[in-house]
């Protein structure tokens, strides 16, 4: 019974021993017969390599590498077609490495793995792939060359000028080769080891500026005709008159004034405008033609009634509004009406002719000053009268600075002034307006007595008797526009009305200040004279204008000693000191001056000037 049980086991064992012996025999057979040869069942792209030596496999691989030198790769790149050999891309078959791979089948791994590989090759066959060399840098080089030949940049729409006429040049869509994808496609085709058609991928490049038609049309409108600049006019009463042409920009020159702006970060946002700075340089000089300073109405005050009567109308201020004018020019250049009038800003005068005494706070006389100038020449008297009239009825607003030169205006024969003697530097010379300083001196003395702060005042170079009659020396004020002015501040809460009275009989000038008293008290000390410097000898100057008869001399200046003169002024209100000042005037010594005619001999000791 036991004997029957062991019999199947014995048969199984015997079978295994025989199988192992056969396998060992076969392994030994392959080892001996296929030493340094390809095992059965190994193929190279369908070619049976069984039993071949490395040299034979190398030869077959070389035959297979001919593919890489054939025009097997067709590349469609945009609208261009190229045919390449795989070798052009740096691709080629490696025969030696291919032979090594073929011989390695059945010889890799441990013994069991080798047996399995050899069995699979014998049973179902193994097709090895040829070993191909790839040089990606060569592929990339060719792809870049194709890109340079086929890429097309996007072209923005732009404005071009043909004969000065703007035209919109259309935009164009561009294309850009996807080089990374192109390299991958070519590489994949090379690895397939067979002819291939490749279509290279491109990216569409959209232009940043699709259309400039609107901007081109706008420029065309701007340069279509002349652009005219008009100057407004008014009559003496301030009523508008028809404007006059100031200048025009010719049609052919309009393009020089066009500015096209395209922000770098937003080039599609095209703006067309005029070159404002270039226009500004042409418009700004016209400001003088329309400019006008505001002028308050002038009045007289009736103390009996406490009312004002207008004696001169007010005048509004006018000033050229540069920016608004440039805006108007821009609008005209874009429109059908090709003219624009200068824009003038009108500012009403602070004090119109309709103002009342109650409106201005003028209630009574607050101070006055009178100067005496009997003995003046006819020309000097005439100039005092003309200059004084410039200040009659002047209104100074609260807190405003009164400027003598501003109200005096132009001193010329055209304005009624006559030629006389004036002090210029350290000399008395002929000039228009001699006597004006009599008016400024009177205004200065009134301002001192009113207790107003004096902002600017200059004494004369030497003492003049006309200015010392009354308050004495040191109370004069010299003016010479635009270098020397008399200025004071109306620091009250009411308007100040100035009234001037020229008395040809008494030969006096009076400045009256009307306003509202605010309780201030003014104390002015008498003048103190120090540092007296005696004058020098008389000066005789030859008359070169033929005014002095032969053998005679005419005195034109009178001798006076030099000195330093000062006075004090204290202004208080309700126990508070508003002003406490020491006003010093320094005068140089002045010599008597004579002008002599022909055949006159100056006295001995005199200074003679030819």
pLDDT digits (tens, 9 = 90+) for 437-473: 999 999 999 999 999 999 999 999 999 988 999 899 9
Domain ranges of the chain: 1-33, 38-151+179-200, 214-347, 361-609
Token pair recorded at residue 252: 């052919």
Burial class (CB in 10 A: 0-12, 13-18, 19+), 524: middle
Residue 294 to residues 150, 291, 318, 494, 544: CA-CA distances in angstroms? 73, 10, 7, 19, 45
Is it the case that residue 284 has pLDDT exceeding 80? yes
The pLDDT score that the predictor gives to residue 126 is: 86
Question: How many Cα neighbours within 13 Å face the side chain of 357?
Answer: 17
pLDDT digits (tens, 9 = 90+) for 526-538: 999 999 999 999 9
User: Poorest-confidence range of 24-33, 152-161, 466-475, 527-536?
Assistant: 24-33
The pLDDT score that the predictor gives to residue 421 is: 64
In angstroms, the CA 185 to CA 526 distance is 112
> How many CB atoms are closer than 10 A to CB 288?
8
**Residue 456 in 3-state DSSP?**
strand
In angstroms, the CA 56 to CA 51 distance is 10
In angstroms, the CA 229 to CA 243 distance is 10
Between 287 and 23, the higher pLDDT residue = 287
Give pTM, 2 decimals: 0.63
Is it the case that residue 385 has pLDDT exceeding 90? yes
Residue 376 to residues 370, 412, 459: CA-CA distances in angstroms? 16, 19, 20
**Residue 219 in 3-state DSSP?**
helix
Is it the case that residue 419 has pLDDT exceeding 90? no
In angstroms, the CA 304 to CA 513 distance is 16
Strands 553-557 and 593-596 turn out to be: antiparallel
Is it the case that residue 229 has pLDDT exceeding 90? yes
The pLDDT score that the predictor gives to residue 246 is: 94
**Residue 472 in 3-state DSSP?**
coil
In angstroms, the CA 178 to CA 185 distance is 11
Q: What is the mean pLDDT of residues 46-61?
A: 81
Is it the case that residue 388 has pLDDT exceeding 60? yes
The pLDDT score that the predictor gives to residue 21 is: 53
The pLDDT score that the predictor gives to residue 17 is: 52
* Nearest of 415, 351, 354, 418 to residue 382 by alpha carbon: 418
Burial class (CB in 10 A: 0-12, 13-18, 19+), 130: buried
Averaged pLDDT of the chain: 89
The pLDDT score that the predictor gives to residue 44 is: 81
* Nearest of 409, 411, 362, 379 to residue 512 by alpha carbon: 362
In angstroms, the CA 444 to CA 467 distance is 11
In angstroms, the CA 48 to CA 137 distance is 35
Report the C-alpha dihedral over residues 3, 5, 6, 11, rounded to 10 degrees.
120
* Nearest of 528, 292, 486 to residue 401 by alpha carbon: 486
The pLDDT score that the predictor gives to residue 259 is: 92
Q: What is the mean pLDDT of residues 178-190?
A: 90
68 — pLDDT class (breaks 50, 70, 90): confident
The pLDDT score that the predictor gives to residue 373 is: 93
> How many CB atoms are closer than 10 A to CB 577?
9
Token pair recorded at residue 547: 């005014």
Token pair recorded at residue 159: 């404005």
Cβ–Cβ < 8 Å for 243, 233: yes
User: Poorest-confidence range of 102-116, 152-166, 232-246, 262-276?
Assistant: 102-116
**Residue 207 in 3-state DSSP?**
coil
2 — pLDDT class (breaks 50, 70, 90): very low
Between 421 and 116, the higher pLDDT residue = 116
Cβ–Cβ < 8 Å for 401, 455: yes
Q: What is the mean pLDDT of residues 11-15?
A: 56
User: Poorest-confidence range of 22-36, 94-108, 149-163, 264-278?
Assistant: 22-36
**% the chain with pLDDT above 70:** 92
Give the contacts of 427 (CB within 8 A, at least 6 positions apart). Answer: none
Q: What is the third-level CATH fold of 214-347?
A: Ubiquitin-like (UB roll) (3.10.20)
User: In what helix (H) or strand (E) does residue 98 lie, and over which residues does it extend?
Assistant: helix 95-104
User: Poorest-confidence range of 126-130, 202-206, 325-329?
Assistant: 126-130
Phi, psi at 556, each rounded to 5°:
-115, -15
Is it the case that residue 8 has pLDDT exceeding 90? no
Q: What is the mean pLDDT of residues 100-126?
A: 85
The pLDDT score that the predictor gives to residue 131 is: 76
Is it the case that residue 273 has pLDDT exceeding 60? yes
């Amino acid at each position: 019974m036991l004997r029957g049980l062991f019999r199947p086991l014995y048969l199984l064992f015997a079978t295994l021993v025989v199988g192992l012996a056969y396998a060992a025999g076969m392994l030994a057979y392959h080892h001996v017969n296929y030493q340094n040869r390809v095992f059965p069942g190994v193929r190279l792209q369908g070619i049976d390599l069984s039993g071949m030596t490395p040299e034979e496999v190398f030869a077959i691989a070389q035959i297979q590498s001919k593919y890489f030198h054939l025009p097997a790769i067709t590349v469609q790149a945009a609208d261009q077609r190229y045919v390449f050999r795989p070798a052009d891309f740096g691709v080629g078959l490696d025969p030696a490495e291919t032979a090594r791979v073929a011989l390695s089948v059945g010889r890799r791994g441990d013994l069991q793995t080798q047996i399995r590989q050899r069995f699979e090759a014998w049973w179902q066959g193994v097709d090895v792939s040829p070993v191909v060399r790839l040089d990606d840098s060569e592929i990339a080089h060719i792809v870049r060359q194709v890109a340079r030949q086929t890429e097309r940049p996007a072209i923005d729409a732009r404005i071009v000028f043909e004969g000065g006429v703007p035209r919109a040049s259309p935009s164009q869509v561009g294309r850009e080769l996807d080089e990374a994808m192109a390299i991958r496609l070519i590489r994949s085709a090379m690895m397939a080891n067979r002819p291939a058609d490749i279509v290279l991928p491109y990216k569409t490049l959209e232009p940043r500026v699709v259309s400039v038609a609107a901007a081109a049309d706008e420029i065309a409108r701007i340069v279509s005709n002349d652009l005219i600049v008009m100057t407004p006019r008014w009559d003496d009463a301030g009523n508008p008159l028809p404007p006059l042409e100031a200048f025009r920009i010719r049609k052919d020159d309009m393009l020089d004034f066009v500015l096209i702006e395209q922000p770098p970060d937003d080039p599609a946002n095209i703006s067309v405008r005029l070159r404002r700075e270039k226009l500004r340089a042409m418009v700004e000089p016209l400001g003088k033609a329309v400019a006008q300073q505001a002028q308050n109405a002038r009045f007289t005050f009736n103390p009996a009634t406490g009312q004002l009567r207008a004696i001169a109308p007010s005048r509004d201020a006018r000033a050229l509004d540069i920016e608004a004018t440039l805006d108007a020019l821009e609008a005209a250049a874009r429109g059908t009406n090709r003219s624009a009038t200068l824009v003038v800003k009108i500012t009403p005068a602070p004090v119109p002719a309709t103002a009342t005494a109650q409106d201005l706070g003028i209630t009574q006389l607050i101070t006055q000053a009178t100067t005496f100038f009997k003995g003046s020449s006819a020309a000097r008297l005439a100039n005092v009268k003309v200059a004084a009239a410039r200040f009659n009825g002047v209104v100074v607003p609260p807190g405003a600075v009164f400027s003598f030169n501003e109200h005096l205006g132009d001193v010329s024969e055209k304005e009624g002034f006559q030629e006389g003697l004036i002090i210029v530097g350290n000399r008395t010379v002929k000039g228009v307006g001699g006597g004006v300083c009599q008016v400024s001196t009177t205004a200065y003395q009134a301002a001192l007595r009113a207790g107003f702060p004096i902002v600017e005042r200059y004494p004369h170079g030497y003492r003049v008797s006309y200015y010392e009659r009354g308050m004495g020396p040191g109370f004069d004020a010299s003016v010479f526009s635009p270098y020397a002015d008399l200025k004071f501040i109306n620091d009250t809460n009411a308007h100040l009305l100035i009234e001037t009275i020229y008395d040809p009989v008494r030969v006096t000038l009076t400045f009256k200040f009307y306003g509202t008293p605010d309780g201030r008290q003014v104390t002015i000390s008498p003048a103190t004279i120090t540092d007296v410097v005696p004058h020098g000898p008389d000066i005789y100057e030859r008359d070169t204008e033929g005014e002095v008869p032969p053998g005679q001399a005419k005195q034109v200046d009178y001798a006076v000693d030099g000195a330093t003169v000062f006075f004090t002024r204290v202004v208080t209100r309700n126990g508070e000191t508003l002003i406490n000042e020491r006003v010093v005037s320094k005068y140089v010594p002045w010599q008597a001056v004579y002008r002599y005619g022909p055949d006159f001999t100056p006295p001995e000791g005199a200074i003679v000037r030819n």
